[in-house]
Chain A
Amino acid sequence: MAIDQQIQVAGQASAPLSYTVPNAIEAALLCVNATINGAGASGSFLPTVEIVSDGGLIVARCPCFTTIAAGASAEVSWFRLRDVQPVVSPTSEYQNLVANTADIRSYWPLDETSGTTFADLGPSNVPLTAVGAPTMGVSPLITTGHAATFSGAVDGIGRSQQYAAGIGTYGAWPSPGSVTIVLWYQGTFSAATNPWFFSFDDGHFRIFQFRLGGAGVAAMTSFRTIGAANPVANGATIVNDGVKRMLAGTFNGSTFSTKVYVNGVLDGSSAGTGRFVSDGPDPAIATHWASPLGDKPIGGTIDEVALFSRELSATELLNFYNAGIGA
């Protein structure tokens, strides 16, 4: 337990007034109070506290930024700045981690509880329009915030009835054209139609797709020039069993490999010869946006969708997962 000490200087003194710190002491300076009388001052002045080292070096100069006119007086108090501890909520902890990860392009937390827009917290600022009134404000798949639930329904000609989509403003994608998509999913939607978690299209062609496939695994595909083989990474973990998971798909523009991660752990990978092309693709959640029909919708709850222009490492993705579950 520390006891703060107040040192009082009796009477009147001429400035500069110096207090020398005693031998065998270490202390933090909390406050200085003084009444400054400039009746005999040779000019206007700034009342100032200076800290001078034992070697004579001024290590801190703390002026009061109000100029006192010659002849005037003032009472001045100097206070040590508070040592403020930042208050970070669990939600902002995850969001801070994702939003401050290098090469983030878009980040849709899907925290909205009403309205028709999902905000993009990333630098690309591509808000998504909620089409068909997906259920907003549902329980989050990370520790706090909210998520959105999509029905996965289609109309009579196969068009998605609930999704979120935007018009891309990404410009040229940074070389070598790598990408990572991260999102949280909880649902039991059938994989029979290869429904899409997220699509990134240039208005005519799919750039990459992140979807359900096989018996219900996550799958990441990058599309290259038409007619060539596309690398497809299929995961091994069944992810449409109603358990919430963090899913990630990556594509490396240098090695052309795609990978799928589940809960921050590599779940499948594929080598390929694909390339990622983009000069303004349009993002969409829970549907395939390139088609005018907007088909292949997925049902279930989706949360914290983030898009990067880099292949994130396994460590980074595992850190995301741990932050998301509050570990």
Chain B
Amino acid sequence: MPQPLIAALPQDLVLTSGYIIRLTALNPTTGAVITGVTVTDVTFQVRPINIGPGGTVNGVDPMPLLVPTTETA
């Protein structure tokens, strides 16, 4: 089983209402979106500063799948 590839997210970015996290595939030379790519087993882990209901994934509310995973001080 190969190890996952690792990439970095910015440390000081705060997401607010209306922001979009977009998982995409880009041409390494032009930056254009490559079509025909599918994604599975997608998870986002976030640390809420202030939270409310209403997020959607491709228009579908993922809230039923929202589960707490880590408790931090």
B-binding residues in A (CB < 8 A) = 1-54, 59-60, 62-68, 74-83
Contacts and interface: CB of A to CB of B under 8 A. Distances in A.
A62 B9 contact: yes
B19 to A, nearest CB: 4
A41 B34 contact: yes
A8 B37 CA distance: 19
B41 A15 contact: no
B8 A79 contact: yes
B24 A16 contact: yes
Contacts of A36: 25, 37-39
A20 B11 contact: no
B45 to A, nearest CB: 4
B39 A15 contact: yes
Tell me which of A5, A19, A30, A39 has the highest count of chain B C-beta atoms within 10 A of its own C-beta: A19
Nearest to A31: B45
Contact of B18 (A16, A17, A21): A21
Tell me which of A21, A31, A39, A62 has the highest count of chain B C-beta atoms within 10 A of its own C-beta: A21
B49 A27 contact: yes
Contact of A12 (B9, B10, B40, B71): B40
Interface string B37-73: 1111111111111111111111000100111111111
Nearest to A80: B9
Interface class of chain A by DSSP: strand
A7 B55 contact: yes
B26 A9 contact: no
Nearest to A77: B4
A27 to B, nearest CB: 4
B20 A52 contact: yes
B48 to A, nearest CB: 5
B15 A25 contact: yes
Given A19-B44, A19-B55, A13 B15 contact: no
A5 B7 contact: no
Given A36-B37, A46-B25, A46-B27, 11 more contacts: A9-B57, A16-B25, A19-B56, A21-B17, A26-B16, A28-B13, A29-B21, A35-B42, A49-B9, A59-B13, A77-B7
A38 B46 CA distance: 27
Contact of B9 (A5, A18, A78): A78
Contacts of B40: 11-13, 34-35, 37
B23 A60 contact: no
Contact of A54 (B19, B34, B46, B50): B19
A67 to B, nearest CB: 5
Given A7-B62, A28-B49, A77-B5, A19 B20 contact: yes
Nearest to A43: B34
B53 A26 contact: no
A27 B71 contact: no
B43 A25 contact: no
Contact of B25 (A5, A10, A15, A82): A15
A66 to B, nearest CB: 5
B70 to A, nearest CB: 4
